[in-house]
Amino acid sequence: MSILNETEVAAEPWLEIVRRKVGNLRFGSVQIVVHEGRVTQVESTEKTRLSDAGSVNGSSSSYAAVKRKI
């Protein structure tokens, strides 16, 4: 197992993907999948928080939260 220095980490293409996904999220998570020491997949899940009245942009909904897989 090797530890990458800052220059090597900055050159990793997956890092920009993670930054973009985190920057686009308001509520949610970003998951990094590693296989044999290499990043093979980046997933993000976004959650939409509803008000106490259960509406998003004025429309009624019976769900407490809406999940969208990106």
Domain boundaries, the chain: 6-69
Residues 15-31 have pLDDT tens digits of: 999 999 999 999 999 99
Please report the sign of the dihedral spanned by the C-alpha atoms of residue 2, residue 4, residue 32, residue 27: positive
Instruction: Tell me the average pLDDT of the chain.
Output: 78
Task: Estimate the share of the chain in helix, then strand, then coil, as percent rounded to the nearest 5.
Answer: 25, 40, 35
∠ Cα 14 44 35 (to 5°): 50
| Stretch 23-50: mean pLDDT | 94
Give pLDDT tens digits for 2-11: 666 666 656 7
* Alpha helices, DSSP H, located in the chain: 6-10, 13-24
Q: Amino acid identity of 66?
A: V
Number of Cβ within 10 Å of residue 52's Cβ equals: 5
